[in-house]
Amino acid sequence: MPDLANLLGALQYGDSFFPSGSVSFSWGLETLHSDRMVVSAGELAGFVEGQLRHRWATCDACALTAAFRADGQLDRVAAVDDIVEAMTLATELREGSKRSGASLLNVHAKLETPGALEYRERVRKRVAHGHLPVVQGTLWRAVGMPEETLAATRNMWFHTGDRVIRQEDGRFHFVDRIKDVIRRRGENISSFDIENILNAHTSIAIAAAYPVPSELAEDEVMIAVQLTEGRSLTEREIIDYCLNRMPYFAVPRFVKIVPELPRTPNGKVEKFKLRAQGRSAGTWDREEHGMKVSR
């Protein structure tokens, strides 16, 4: 997840309202309201959802990313601008996008953000359009914003990377980090649930569950286990413990007992390092040891 400084930077450099003082265009909502096509709260919610899903997810977010990846090469940025212009059929959307983009460019030209003055001149000479998502992506790259922040703030939402389930009473139940979900033989497996079960064992200090490639397709479940100081536990005993406590398809195939799990300074397990290591030396395979799991 991006750090706080990058998220604040995204607000400063990527939004058309702050610090430029312009107001983001609203996809023609005022016209739809005056024509009595969007009146109720339910109709408004449906309108916003539709714009986020069909406009932002498929067009604006793509344009922002493409402009970001143009790496400050203004000819490439202008080519993305041309595509947005061609794809934006409604006049109100097209002109609103360019007004907001121009306002943002004006501010950053004064701030001397790299590329802002040059691209503003292209827009003024009508050799570029200056659509808002294109300007946003260009500015983010210019100030050194990482692409991770771009992904986290796409679609006008901040994406935490968490998978949750909304319960009937309106509360949300955390399932897992999206990047940590394991896909095994058609089943989505929560690494969070596996870890909770393992961490309840008195001989386990902390465990991490993560995917490793399967010989067939998708993933196999692997766990790295750090034992409680002074305790002992074998890989077979760990699997035996899992058998009656989790669905058969979630029982780990690979086990590695380690002296210590890699962690960040604030104590979180660095799973990306474990995934990169994969099935390294010392990994125990329950299938090779005759422990088959069935329904």
Assign residue 80 the CATH number of its domain.
1.10.4190.10
Written as one string, the DSSP assignment of 13-46 is HH-SSTTT------TTHHHHHHTTSS-SHHHHHH
Assign residue 266 the CATH number of its domain.
3.30.300.30
Q: Percent of the chain at pLDDT above 70?
A: 79
Query: Predicted confidence band at 16 (pLDDT cuts at 50, 70, 90)?
Result: very low
**Residue 163 resides in a domain:** no
Among 156, 183, 214, where does a domain finish?
156
**Residue 161 resides in a domain:** no
177 touches 161 (CB < 8 A): yes
Quote the number of domains for the chain: 2
* Mean predicted lDDT score pLDDT of the chain: 82
**Residue 59 resides in a domain:** yes
Say whether both 56 and 182 belong to one domain. Answer: no
Query: Predicted confidence band at 82 (pLDDT cuts at 50, 70, 90)?
Result: very high
pLDDT in the model for residue 228? 95
Record the tokens describing residue 101, joined without a space.
């983009």
Say whether both 136 and 181 belong to one domain. Answer: no
Say whether both 93 and 181 belong to one domain. Answer: no
User: Domain containing 250: what range?
Assistant: 174-285
* Top-confidence residue, 5 or 252: 252
Distance CA 26, CA 252 (A): 49
262 touches 274 (CB < 8 A): yes
